[in-house]
Amino acid sequence: MRVASIDIQGFKSFAKKTRIDLTEGITAVIGPNGSGKSCVVDAVRWVLGEQSIKQLRGKANTDIIFHGSEVLPPARRAEVTITFDNESGRFPLPSATVAVTRRLTRDGESSYQVNREDVRLLDLQQMLAQAGIGAKTFTVISQGMVDRYITASPAERKELFDDATGIKPLQLKLMEAHRKLKKTQQHALEIETTIRELEPRLKVLARQIKRYEQREKIQEAFTVSQVQWFSHAWHNVRQRLTDLTAQQAEVSRTIKQARSHRETLEKKLITGTGTHNHGLHAELTTANQELAAAQKIYNERTHARVQLEKLIQEAQLQLQRADKALQAVTTRSQPLDWVGNVTQLLERCQKLLLKIAKNPATTTTEAEAMADQIQESLQTLKNTSADTLIRSAADELTRPAAELARIEAILEERKRQLDALPPLEAPSSAQVEKLTKQLANQGAVPLSEDSLASQLSSARQNELAAERADGALEAALEQARIDLAQLENDILRERGSQALSTMQQKPPAESGHTPSEEELRQLAGKLAALGEPDPLVIKEYGEVEERYENLTAQIADIRSAATNIVDLMGTLHTQMQKQFGEKFHVIRAAFTRAFVELFGGGNAELMLIEEGIDISVTPPGKRSRHIGLLSGGERALTSLALLMAILEAQSPPFIVLDEVDAALDEANSQRFSHLLRERCHNTQCIVVTHNREAMASADVLYGVTMQQKGVSSVYSVKLADITETDMGQAHQEISI
Ligand code: ATP
C-alpha cells in the first residue's frame, strides 16, 4: 500500500488545483523558504483528520482556506484528497484505490469522504488506524515535532508510543466501548428511575385489581347461589300452585256434593210440605232433641276438661317442688327444716289426692285409700329419728311422686278421650228455630218435622264451609300467582330469560346446599362493600403493567448489554497490554541499535516506568546523561534514532518528514539518509528537506515554488534520469 497522489485545492497557499503524484521509496520535497513545502505536509495532516488547528499553524479552522493573493481572490473552500492504492487490501474496502477527501467551506461546513462517499470522522479514523495511518501518529512529523519524543514527559511519551505500538485502533475501540457503556448505564439509570416511579402506582392498581378478582369470585358464588335460590323458590311456588289447584278441585267437588245434598234436602222438604207435614215435624223435633243432648254433653265435658287440666297443672307443680326439695337434701344438711318441708309436702299431696278423688275420673274409695296410705307414711316419718328420716326421705318422697305420676297418666288418658270426642257443633237452636219458622211461613208446617230441617241446616253449613274454603284457596292461589309473577320478574331482571327458561325446565338439584336468603344477603353485602369495578382502573392497570414488564425486560437486556461491553473492554484491554508489551520490546531494541548506528557508538535505552516511558542516553565516549543536557544535534539524532526504531517496528505504509534533518551536520545527515533508506524499504517516505544528502537519497524530487506571488505550485524531477550535477543545478534553480 502506498500514497498514489495528493490533490490540493484552496488549501493555504495552494490556491489552484494541484496534484502531487507519488511513487514508492523516498520523495523529497524541496524549495525556497515560504514557498509552501510545509503546506503540503499540513495538507496531508489535515486530510487524515487532524482536529487541532494549532498543529496546522492556524488560529481559526478557516485559516487553512486560501485567503487570497495580489492576483487571486480568496477560495470559497479548501479541499484535499489523498489517494492510496489499495491492492494490498490494507483498507477493508473492495476497491483498488481509496481516496480520502476532506473539505471545509468558509461558512464552516466540514465533511469527510471515502471514495466520494460521506463518512463520519470516527469511521475514517478507525479505517486509517487499522492501516497504521493517523494524523496524530508519527505518520506526519512536522518541523520541531521530531524531538517531541525526546522532550515529552514520560506520560506524554507513553501516549506517543500508543500510536507507535499500533494499539490506537484498540484504544479507539475501547473508547467507543466506554462511550457505549456510559450511554447504556445512563439509559439503564433512566429506565430504573421510570420503573421506580411506576412501582407505587402499579402496587396501588394491583391491590385494586386483587379486590376486583376477589369480587369476581364472590360474584360467581353469588350468581350460583342466587340461581339455586331462584330455582328453589320458583319450583316451591309452582308446587304451591299445583297443590292449591288440586285442593281447589277437591273443594269444588265437595261444594258440588254439598250443594247437591242441600238441594236434595230442600226438594225433600218442599215436596213434603202439605202432604208430609207430620214426617217433617218429627224430623225437626228429633233434631232439636239431639241438639240439646249434644249441648249438655259438650258443656259437661268442657267443664271436666278444665278441672282436669287444672289438677294436672297443680300436681306437676308439686312434683317440681318435691324434686327441688329432694335436691336440697342431698346438697345441704338441714334435716329438721327438711322434715318440716316434707311433712308439709305430704300433707299437701294428701289434700291434692282428696281433691282428685272428687273428680269423676277417680273413685272416692281409690282416693281415700291413697290418702290413708300417705297418712300412714307421714306417721312413720314423724316417729323416725331425724337421721333415719333423712336417709329414707328420698325413698319416701318417690312414693307419692310415683302415685302422682300414675294419676297424671290417668288424667292424660282422660284428656285424650276428651279430645277424641266428636265435634260438638250440632245445629244451633237459632237455626232450628229459623227452619221451623220458614216451614211455618210456607203454611201448615208442624213443629215436629225438625229432623229434615236439621239435616238441611247441616248441609247448608257444610256447603258454606266448603265455599269459604274455596274462597280462601282462591285467595291463596291468587297470592301464589302474584308471587310467581314477581319471582319471574326478579329472575328476568337478575339472571335473564335464558336462566328463567332453564329453571322452568329443570328441577333444582336435590343434593347440595340450598342457599338461604341470609347467605344471599351476606354475599350481596360483600359485593356492595367491594364496589363496582372501575373500567378505567382495569385499563390503567393493563397499561402500567405492560409498561412495567417492558421496562423490566429492557433493563435486563441493557444490563446484559452492559456486561457484554465490560467483557469486551476487558478483552480489548488485555489485547492492548499484550500488543503494547510486544511492540515496545521491539522498539526498545531497535532504538538502541539505531542510536549506536547514528552516533557511531554509545548507548541508549527506553524504560517503562510507572509514569510512562523514560529514556536514558549515553553518547559515545560520554557519561550517561539526562536528555535535557544533550546538544541540539545530539537531541535531533536521538529523536531520529527513536523515529527509525518506531518505523522499523511499525513498518507504516508511509511517513511524511518535514525538515526533521534541519539540525544535522553533513556527516550526521548522511548517516540519517543512509539509515532512512535502509530501514524504510517497506515505507513510502515524503521528506521535506533543504539537505543535499537527503535530496541525493530520494527517488523523486518535487520542487515547490511561488512563481505567482502568494500562490504555491509544484513540479517534479525524476532523479534517476538526471546526474548529480543536474540535481545541484535544479536545487539552485528552485532556490532562486
Ligand atoms: P520553510 O522552508 O521556511 O519552512 P515552507 O516552504 O515550508 O518554508 P510554508 O511554511 O509552507 O513554507 O509557508 C508557505 C506560505 O503559505 C507562507 O508564506 C504563508 O504565509 C502562506 N500561507 C499560509 N496560510 C495561507 C493561507 N490560508 N492562504 C494563503 N497563503 C497562506
Q: 499-543: per-residue pLDDT in tens?
A: 899 888 888 777 667 888 888 899 889 888 888 888 999 999 999
Q: Is 66 in the pocket of ligand 1 (CB under 6 A)?
A: yes
Q: Compute the distance from residue 334 Cα to the ligand 1 centre, in Å.
A: 145
361 occurs within a structural domain: yes
Burial class (CB in 10 A: 0-12, 13-18, 19+), 657: buried
pLDDT of residue 334: 46
Q: Compute the distance from residue 35 Cα to the ligand 1 centre, in Å.
A: 6
**Atom of ligand 1 at shortest range from CA of 41:** 11
pLDDT of residue 358: 56
Question: Residue 307 above 60 pLDDT?
Answer: no
Q: Please, which pLDDT band fits residue 423 given cuts at 50, 70 and 90? A: very low
Name the closest-CA residue to atom 3, ligand 1.
33
Query: Where is average pLDDT lowest: 400-404, 470-474, 514-518?
Result: 400-404
Q: Compute the distance from residue 703 Cα to the ligand 1 centre, in Å.
A: 14
Domain stop point among 415, 443, 471: 443
**Per-position b or e across 118-137, b if 16+ CB within 10 A of its CB:** ebeeeebbbbbbebbbbbbb
Domain stop point among 443, 473, 492: 443
Rounded Cα distance, 445 and 159, in Å: 154
44 occurs within a structural domain: yes
Q: Please, which pLDDT band fits residue 360 given cuts at 50, 70 and 90? A: very low
Rounded Cα distance, 685 and 28, in Å: 8
Domain stop point among 443, 469, 502: 443
Give mean pLDDT, residues 652-656.
Answer: 87
**Per-position b or e across 488-505, b if 16+ CB within 10 A of its CB:** beebeeebeeebbeebee
- Beta bridge partner(s), residue 103: 79, 111
Beta carbons of 658 and 43 less than 8 angstroms apart = no
pLDDT of residue 395: 58
Q: Compute the distance from residue 588 Cα to the ligand 1 centre, in Å.
A: 37
Higher-pLDDT residue of 162 and 733 is: 162
Q: Is 36 in the pocket of ligand 1 (CB under 6 A)?
A: yes
Rounded Cα distance, 711 and 8, in Å: 12
Rounded Cα distance, 331 and 325, in Å: 10
Q: Cell for 497? A: 330469560
Name the closest-CA residue to atom 5, ligand 1.
34
Q: Please, which pLDDT band fits residue 164 given cuts at 50, 70 and 90? A: confident
pLDDT of residue 309: 53
Q: Cell for 251? A: 273443594
Residue with cell 530501514: 679
Q: Is 414 in the pocket of ligand 1 (CB under 6 A)?
A: no
Q: Is 33 in the pocket of ligand 1 (CB under 6 A)?
A: yes
**Atom of ligand 1 at shortest range from CA of 58:** 24
Q: Please, which pLDDT band fits residue 430 given cuts at 50, 70 and 90? A: low
**Which range marks the domain in which residue 63 is found?**
2-139+652-735
Give mean pLDDT, residues 398-410.
Answer: 60
**Atom of ligand 1 at shortest range from CA of 65:** 27
Question: Residue 295 above 60 pLDDT?
Answer: no
26 occurs within a structural domain: yes
Q: Is 91 in the pocket of ligand 1 (CB under 6 A)?
A: no
Half-sphere exposure of residue 215, counting CA atoms within 13 Å on the CB side?
15
pLDDT of residue 275: 47
What is the count of structural domains for the chain?
2
Residue with cell 541499535: 593
Give mean pLDDT, residues 717-732.
Answer: 52
Name the closest-CA residue to atom 16, ligand 1.
13
Name the closest-CA residue to atom 18, ligand 1.
34
239 occurs within a structural domain: no
Name the closest-CA residue to atom 2, ligand 1.
33
Burial class (CB in 10 A: 0-12, 13-18, 19+), 21: middle
pLDDT of residue 630: 83
φ, ψ dihedrals at 26, nearest 5°: -105, 130
Q: Compute the distance from residue 12 Cα to the ligand 1 centre, in Å.
A: 7
Pocket test for ligand 1, best of 14, 16, 37, 39 (most atoms within 8 A of CB): 39
Q: Is 672 in the pocket of ligand 1 (CB under 6 A)?
A: no
Query: Where is average pLDDT lowest: 276-285, 446-455, 691-700, 725-734?
Result: 725-734
Q: Is 35 in the pocket of ligand 1 (CB under 6 A)?
A: yes
Name the closest-CA residue to atom 25, ligand 1.
12
Extended strands (E) in 553-708: 603-609, 612-618, 654-658, 684-688, 700-708
Question: Residue 426 above 60 pLDDT?
Answer: no
643 occurs within a structural domain: no
Q: Which of 655, 705, 718, 657 is nearest to 18 (CA)?
A: 705
Beta carbons of 605 and 615 less than 8 angstroms apart = yes
- The alpha helices in 610-723, defined as continuous H runs, are 632-650, 666-679, 692-697
Question: Residue 243 above 50 pLDDT?
Answer: yes
Burial class (CB in 10 A: 0-12, 13-18, 19+), 167: buried
Q: Is 705 in the pocket of ligand 1 (CB under 6 A)?
A: no
Would strands 26-30 and 700-708 be described as parallel, antiparallel, or unpaired?
parallel
Question: Residue 447 above 50 pLDDT?
Answer: no
Q: Is 12 in the pocket of ligand 1 (CB under 6 A)?
A: yes
Q: Which of 387, 404, 403 is nearest to 329 (CA)?
A: 387
CA 42 to chain centre: 62
Maximum C-alpha span of the chain: 193
Pocket test for ligand 1, best of 8, 13, 702 (most atoms within 8 A of CB): 13
Q: Compute the distance from residue 38 Cα to the ligand 1 centre, in Å.
A: 7
pLDDT digits (tens, 9 = 90+) for 575-624: 999 999 998 999 999 999 999 999 999 999 999 999 999 998 999 888 77
Residues 6+ apart with CB under 8 A from 450: 280, 281, 282, 283, 284, 285, 286, 287, 288, 432, 435, 436
Q: Is 38 in the pocket of ligand 1 (CB under 6 A)?
A: yes
pLDDT of residue 610: 92
Helix axes 535-599, 666-679, angle to 10 degrees: 130
Residue with cell 511492540: 583
Name the closest-CA residue to atom 30, ligand 1.
13
Pocket test for ligand 1, best of 9, 11, 12 (most atoms within 8 A of CB): 12
Q: Is 701 in the pocket of ligand 1 (CB under 6 A)?
A: no
pLDDT digits (tens, 9 = 90+) for 94-108: 999 999 999 999 999
Name the closest-CA residue to atom 10, ligand 1.
38
**Atom of ligand 1 at shortest range from CA of 31:** 6
pLDDT of residue 139: 83
CATH of the domain at 685: 3.40.50.300
Q: Compute the distance from residue 37 Cα to the ligand 1 centre, in Å.
A: 8
Q: Is 13 in the pocket of ligand 1 (CB under 6 A)?
A: yes
pLDDT digits (tens, 9 = 90+) for 114-128: 999 999 998 998 898
229 occurs within a structural domain: no
Q: Cell for 606? A: 527506553
Query: Where is average pLDDT lowest: 250-254, 599-603, 637-641, 648-652?
Result: 648-652
Q: Compute the distance from residue 198 Cα to the ligand 1 centre, in Å.
A: 64
pLDDT of residue 195: 94
Beta carbons of 659 and 144 less than 8 angstroms apart = no
Tell whether the torsion through CA atoms of 176, 178, 184 and 186 is positive or negative.
Answer: negative
pLDDT digits (tens, 9 = 90+) for 185-235: 999 999 999 999 999 999 999 999 998 898 999 999 888 888 888 988 899
Beta carbons of 359 and 312 less than 8 angstroms apart = no
Q: Taking the CB of residue 669, how many other CB atoms lie within 10 A of it?
A: 20
* Residues, the chain: 736
591 occurs within a structural domain: no
Q: Compute the distance from residue 158 Cα to the ligand 1 centre, in Å.
A: 32
Name the closest-CA residue to atom 1, ligand 1.
33
Q: Is 37 in the pocket of ligand 1 (CB under 6 A)?
A: yes
- Average pLDDT score, the chain: 79
pLDDT of residue 203: 94
Q: Compute the distance from residue 67 Cα to the ligand 1 centre, in Å.
A: 12
Beta carbons of 138 and 646 less than 8 angstroms apart = yes
- Beta bridge partner(s), residue 99: 83
455 occurs within a structural domain: no
